[in-house]
Amino acid sequence: MINSTSTAARLPLREEDLDSFATLTEIIGVARGVLPTDILDFLEGGAGEERTLRDNRTAFRNWNFVPRVMTGYGKPELATSFLGIPLAIPVLTAPFGADGLFHPRGQCAVARANAAEGVASIVPEAGTYSFEVVAEAAPDAARIAQIHPMGSAEHFVGMLHRIENAGYQAICVTVDFPIAGRRERDLMNRFDRNFRAASGNYPADGSAASETIFKQLFYRSTAGWGWGQLGELMDKTPLPWIAKGVLTGADACAALEAGADAVLVSNHGGRQLDGVPAALNQLPEVVSAVAGRVPVAFDSGIRRGSDIVIALALGADVVVLGRLVAYGLAADGESGVRQVHQLLRAEMLTTLTLLGAGDVAVLEPSVLSINACRRH
């Protein structure tokens, strides 16, 4: 049953309708209908009281669009690039792990859908499938590998070399995960994260030893890492790298000093420290601090094409989609992910055209104004 107020949207979708979802709301509704409760909570939940999770969405509602009419622009241009990777729309897909819980082909299906739609994948270290398997499943896809700064230097550098050998074009380092946040929905569900669904890059023979190796890496604190150590080790790869999880101008500058080629403004979708600001509210500060020296990516809270336009207008070069893509994956696998991108493209085109705007690359904050009704 679709979660919507319209009568038509509440009707159950027929099997043949899965080839042509009309809205993102339909895709989300189908995904919610097919996922078991504990897995849906794993997807939708956040840390603590989920204040930050809610604030990520509220932040978008704090902005109004300011359209200009009769500007003479034709069809807006959505194509762009990021770290030399051409993109048909300014979108990357997030490195959400345990992807096999949402669909048997997980990130392999995501990568294939992305290749067809001109979108780049950020492939997770804690995914169901290894970096190599995802690369083989979608050899034409633009791919970025995501890793955590953890374990020994030898382990970390070994992962860098694996990523290079698998043909990835960049590396995304998640810097806001020294330890997993306390996600209370998962705790109350006694949710078993199932190491096989998240250990594609590690031994997965089912033995107790394999599970111990994985849990030692992913469930112990890695708070001892600092920017200096990370920068020194990242110098051992020729690939450009992104610092994912930056929320302040100071951390953005520290990432650049460590050699980062891009920063990703993110609060991990509200899944790490509850009570931090909405990522969108921090985006202008980071953009100002970076001052055009490197590209800025953004994630957390995006649910519509109009949300993407807001983030771009506030200075992001591209956005990164997590939950929306997981919904598409759960709703209809590779086809569901493709339809997420297609619907987002349509929504962005409509929004930009009605704004009287042109290329996404030249959007200015002047197309936005603070929603006076929500100032307080």
> If you search the block for the tokens 């989609």, which residue do you land on?
321
Q: How many residues are recorded in the chain?
A: 376
Written as one letter, the residue type at 348 is: M
Alpha-carbon distance of 31 to 339, in angstroms, equals 13
Write the CB contacts of 44 (distance below 8 Å, at least 6 apart in sequence). Answer: 185, 323
Alpha-carbon distance of 357 to 327, in angstroms, equals 30
CB-CB contact of 78 with 90 (8 Å) = yes
Written as one letter, the residue type at 159 is: M
**β-bridge partners, 25:** none
Q: What is the DSSP annotation of 258-275? A: TT-SEEEE--GGGTSSTT
| Rg, Å, the chain Cα set | 20
CB-CB contact of 137 with 127 (8 Å) = no
Residue 19 φ/ψ, nearest 5 degrees: -80, -5
Pairing, β 85-87 against β 80-82: antiparallel
Alpha-helical runs (H) found in 118-199: 131-137, 153-165, 184-189, 195-198
Residue 320 φ/ψ, nearest 5 degrees: -120, 125
Phi-psi sector, 319: left (phi>0), alpha (psi -120 to 50), beta? beta
| Catalytic member of 148, 155, 161, 268 | 268
The question of whether 268 is a catalytic residue gets the answer yes
Single out the residue of 305, 233, 244 nearest to residue 269, CA to CA. 244
Could you list the active site residues?
268
